[in-house]
Amino acid sequence: MKKDLFALKGTICYSKNQKELVFAENSYAVCENGLCAGVFSQLPEEYKDIPVKDMGDRLIIPGFTDLHLHAPQYAYRGTGMDLELLDWLNTITFPQEAKYADLSYAKKAYSIFVDDLKHSFTTRACIFATLHRPATELLMDMLEESGLTTMVGKVNMDRNGAPELQEKSAQASAQDTRQWLEEIKGRYDHTYPILTPRFTPSCTDELMTELGKIQREYHIPIQSHLSENFGEIAWVKELCPTSRFYGDAYDMFGLFGTKPAANEEVSNPASASSNTCPTIMAHCVHSTDEEIQMIKDQGVYIAHCPESNTDIASGIAPIRRYLDMGLHVGLGTDVAGGFSLSMFRAIADAIQVSKLRWRLMDQTQAPVTLEEAFYMATIGGGSFFGKVGSFEKGYEFDAMILDDSNIRHPQEISTRDRLERLVYLSDDRNLVGKYVQGRKVI
Ligand code: GUN
Ligand code: FE
């Protein structure tokens, strides 16, 4: 028998596409060597003797990808929510992140973060650490141990930080980044590095140039922030006067997705043949038409962070427009701009803020539906990792088992209603099992 072959049996839900969910009651999701072999109402002959883990009528759904969050900020989540971005960074975030120079503090704080992330509704995540190399490696060691699949970035920042939170020069920052990449080479199975210039105000042109070189040398993806807040956008214009718009200030250094070669249609940045630079930009609340066009043309992923955009009053991103244009959109908690690690909550927030945008700002842009928000949390963000976020054959087997029996009801309800209730009412108690790439995590 093959090494890793089993089935989960229960009430299976996943996205067929952006607009439709599939519900398969009393069905089997088969995992074969870490990949999904499909969903079946009866086990096919070739699988009839494999171990079956019977989950009764519990829901089995694909894992969620948190496309943007900050591990060091988990320590103070839920505080300091009365400020806008730039004041929030200077008065709260930077002094807090400076503490990760101390490895014993980092160990204490990151243990809590990793343990909570492991027990959350997240199976994959793209994570900012801090500028500190040793603490970033410690975080990566802990995440590897957790069984989750993650991308982690040592943050780059060589200007406009706090005295205690800024690298000495562009060269020092680049050198430390190279050292980090060398030190972790071959060390992990499911923890990957991602280049992380914090945002344009934190990185000089010289540093961006160096990061562009490192990206092309190591072929690793990029994550950063884009067009989150009006004050931030105006500042970028001052700092980078030759840029046509904020996204151009990354593109000038080759840090903004994949430039299509002539006659090449880019649908998946990771599979493009030339100049591949898979990129996640968090927020994109106030992107201009030109910026949005470049996001589309270069296959940049948008991490939509509705809770954070509400908490630090950044605004409401035009997600209906992005979805209708066929952009890659995933969801991020952006802890600690967002206070909650729950990706179910991110789904609820994405739906709720889209209703406010529709009602108050633009009635041509219909609200986001449950189907669309669920898609963003699964395939939308998951596809940054490859074939992730579905139970269709060939997808990596990331699954969560949800026991919703504490969400009581006096009447029969549909499977879709059960899923929708979990979006609004779930907490950690509802998660009773989690698999990533076929590995049992909890
Ligand atoms: N822009 C630059 N740094 C940050 C950060 O830590 N959080 C958020 N939300 N935006 C940023
Ligand atoms: Fe962020």
ipTM comes to 0.99
Q: Which two tokens stand for residue 194?
A: 């991602």
Q: Which of 94, 198, 286 to mutate to test the pocket of ligand 1 (most atoms within 8 A of CB)?
A: 198
**pLDDT tens profile 9-23:** 999 999 999 999 999
- Measured CA to CA, the distance from residue 287 to residue 419 in angstroms comes to 32
Residue 317: per-residue pLDDT: 98
What's the CA-to-centroid distance between 70 and ligand 2, angstroms? 6
pTM: 0.97
Which ligand has an atom closest to residue 314 CA? Answer: 1
| Residue minimizing CA distance to atom 7 of ligand 1 | 337
Residue 119's closest CA among 434, 439, 436, 357? 434
Q: Across residues 178-190, what is the average pLDDT?
A: 98
148 close to 117: Cβ distance less than 8 angstroms: yes
Residue 163: pLDDT band (50, 70, 90) is: very high
pLDDT over 70 for what percent of the chain?
96
Residue 264: per-residue pLDDT: 53
Q: Which residue has the tokens 């500028």?
A: 131
Please indicate whether residue 273 or residue 47 has the higher confidence score (pLDDT).
47
Which ligand has an atom closest to residue 232 CA? Answer: 1
What's the CA-to-centroid distance between 190 and ligand 1, angstroms? 25
Q: How far is CA 63 from the centre of its chain?
A: 12
Residue 265: per-residue pLDDT: 55
To the nearest whole number, what is the mean pLDDT of the chain?
96
Domain 5-62+389-440 of CATH type 2.30.40.10: yes
Please indicate whether residue 108 or residue 262 has the higher confidence score (pLDDT).
108
Residue 236: per-residue pLDDT: 98
Residue 3: per-residue pLDDT: 61
Dump strand ranges (E) for 284-421: 301-304, 328-331, 399-402
Pairing, β 191-193 against β 149-153:
parallel
Q: Which residue has the tokens 């990029």?
A: 222
What's the CA-to-centroid distance between 82 and ligand 1, angstroms? 15
Q: How many CB atoms lie within 10 A of CB 47?
A: 18
Tell which CATH classification among 3.20.20.70, 3.40.50.300, 3.20.20.140, 3.40.190.10 matches the domain 64-385.
3.20.20.140
What's the CA-to-centroid distance between 335 and ligand 1, angstroms? 10
**pLDDT tens profile 318-363:** 999 999 999 999 999 999 999 999 999 999 999 999 999 999 999 9
Domain boundaries, the chain: 5-62+389-440, 64-385
